[in-house]
Amino acid sequence: MLEIVTFGILAAVTLVSAILVITRRNAVHSVIWLIVTLFGVAGIYLLQHAEFLFAVQIILYVGGIMVLFLFVVMLVNIDVSLKQARFTRQWQVALGTAILLGAQLAYALYNHGRGLNLQERPMQAAPVGNTQAVGMALYQNYMLPVEIASILLLVAMVGAVLMAKRKFE
């Protein structure tokens, strides 16, 4: 019962803060609300006994990427961006998309998942050694894809540095 209440609170906090991310006019406030959203998602990972994802969410996203976002937002000239017109011509597309997503949600709730052909699974106990299992899978079964992804990320990082260097010269 406590897990359900905790999940409900974390889901509500995550949803409300995600809405506040896209509705705030101040970019710094949006970044702060995005940090709250990421903390809520990390809490949900912890409730699902995914300790590794919880740690990655906190350390990598909240600790690293959001600090970079905050620095970029503070370095950008916000006064110019606030004076520009926003969302002037896209409201019809946004309304159509919202109606379409609402219809899909209503259809899914009406069918209770029957159209998805999902089979009910018995509840399982949380796996022991979740982080160790992820590490073993990554570096034994999926060693080649992990190495290829790391090389691609390195090439992208070097390319971004070279492009930025040419721009400022």
CATH architecture of 1-79: Up-down Bundle (1.20)
Confidence class for position 38, pLDDT limits 50, 70, 90: very high
Determine the pLDDT at residue 136: 78
Instruction: Check: CB of residue 127 under 8 Å from CB of residue 49.
Output: yes
Residue 46's nearest CA partner among 23, 28, 38 is: 38
In the DSSP assignment, the letter for residue 59 is: I
Distance between CA atoms of 152 and 149, rounded to whole angstroms?
5
Q: Name which residue leads in pLDDT, 75 or 48.
A: 48
5 pLDDT more than 90: yes
Instruction: Check: CB of residue 53 under 8 Å from CB of residue 45.
Output: yes
Distance between CA atoms of 156 and 163, rounded to whole angstroms?
10
Residue type (1 letter), 130: N
48 pLDDT more than 80: yes
Residue showing tokens 């259809």: 107
Residue showing tokens 């919202």: 98
pLDDT digits (tens, 9 = 90+) for 101-155: 899 888 877 877 565 565 666 665 555 567 777 777 777 888 888 888 889 888 8
Phi/psi-derived region of residue 164, left when phi > 0, alpha when psi is between -120 and 50, beta in every other case: alpha
pTM: 0.57
Instruction: Check: CB of residue 37 under 8 Å from CB of residue 18.
Output: yes
Expressed in angstroms, the distance from the first to the final Cα of the chain is 61
pLDDT digits (tens, 9 = 90+) for 63-96: 888 777 777 777 666 666 556 666 567 778 888 9
